[in-house]
Amino acid sequence: MKKNLILPILFVIISAGCGPQPTPAQPTEDINAIVGTMMATTLTAIAPTPVPPTNTPPPEPTAVPTQPGTLMEEFGAGFTYPDPDWLAPVEASLVKHKYEVAAVPDALRYVLQESETYLYTFNKREMPADVAIETTYLNLERSSEPALVCRVDPATQTKWYEFRIVPYENAGTIYYFERQDVYHNPYTRLAYAKLTVELFRDKENRLLATCKGNKLTLNLNGQDVVSAEDTRLPGGGLIGMGGVTHSKVPVTMDFQYINVQPPQ
């Protein structure tokens, strides 16, 4: 009886071992990895082709054209004198005097060594009739007179309007200048007025000369000090600055810049 029981049990065990086995679970693919692979493939496809380096220099910057009737000249680093944009110094008197005009750090310097010197420097660029000319200057000696000029005859430099400070008289003057002959005084005074604003002795003063139509105005340190009207020079011309000496010499004048704009 025992033998009959053993045989069926063995048959069951053998059948279970030989039956179909369960299929092992397949690994699930990472969706983030799939998306990342697709994006990398897309970016690689649209990436620009690298451009090999060349020896071509970068283009030069385009120069900005200067507005007509304007000039800004800083007498600082990089400025030299003589300068191709400026004429050689002009003496208004026919007698030659000893002087020096040179670029120093932050200024164009006049050193006038003899009395009765009338010296000017003119920019070569021709300006319209209506201009406002500005500068700052340092002048410790009260016996010399700084000046600005406009409407200078560009061909001969023998006519202009002049705006001048007279420190030892504490006054401002405006002149019409015209050289006619050796014996004729070229300066015709158009206006004279005592200063109503402080003239600094130990720091820079600001001068503003305005030529607008027939009206001529001199402004010192932000305040109009003298004005005049004249019709002899209606057209444009050169602009510049100047210096005049009297008995006390030598004298030194430093002009920091010159700025020309259309008048307000």
In a domain, 228, yes or no: yes
Confidence of residue 11 (pLDDT cuts 50, 70, 90): very low
Helix (H) or strand (E) run with residue 74 in it: strand 71-74
In a domain, 183, yes or no: yes
d(CA 93, CA 87): 17
Residue 108 three-state SS: strand
The pLDDT tens digits for 206-231 are: 999 999 999 999 999 999 999 999 99
- The answer on pLDDT for 234 being more than 50 is yes
Question: What's the CATH number where 211 sits?
Answer: 2.60.120.560
In a domain, 82, yes or no: yes
Residue 171 three-state SS: strand
In a domain, 165, yes or no: yes
d(CA 169, CA 148): 18
d(CA 68, CA 61): 21
Bridge partners (DSSP) of residue 156 are: none
Look at residue 52 in the predicted model and tell me its pLDDT: 61
Look at residue 257 in the predicted model and tell me its pLDDT: 97
C-alpha angle with apex 53: 52 to 57, nearest 5 degrees? 145
d(CA 189, CA 41): 87
Q: Is the dihedral of CA 186, 191, 193, 199 positive or negative?
A: negative
> What is the domain count for the chain?
1
d(CA 137, CA 258): 10
Confidence of residue 77 (pLDDT cuts 50, 70, 90): confident
The pLDDT tens digits for 145-164 are: 999 999 999 999 999 999 99
Max mean pLDDT among 8-12, 76-80, 101-105, 141-145 falls in 101-105
More confident residue, 25 or 247: 247
- pTM (whole model) above 0.85: no
Contact (CB, 8 A) for 87 and 118: no
In a domain, 32, yes or no: no
Give the mean pLDDT of 164-192: 93
Q: Which among 201, 202, 176, 179 has a CA at the least distance from the CA of 189?
A: 176
Look at residue 187 in the predicted model and tell me its pLDDT: 97
Buried residues in 68-77 as b, exposed as e (16+ CB within 10 A)? ebebebebee
What residues make up the domain containing 150? Answer: 71-261
Confidence of residue 13 (pLDDT cuts 50, 70, 90): very low
In a domain, 9, yes or no: no
Helix (H) or strand (E) run with residue 225 in it: strand 223-229
Confidence of residue 35 (pLDDT cuts 50, 70, 90): very low
Helix (H) or strand (E) run with residue 103 in it: strand 99-104
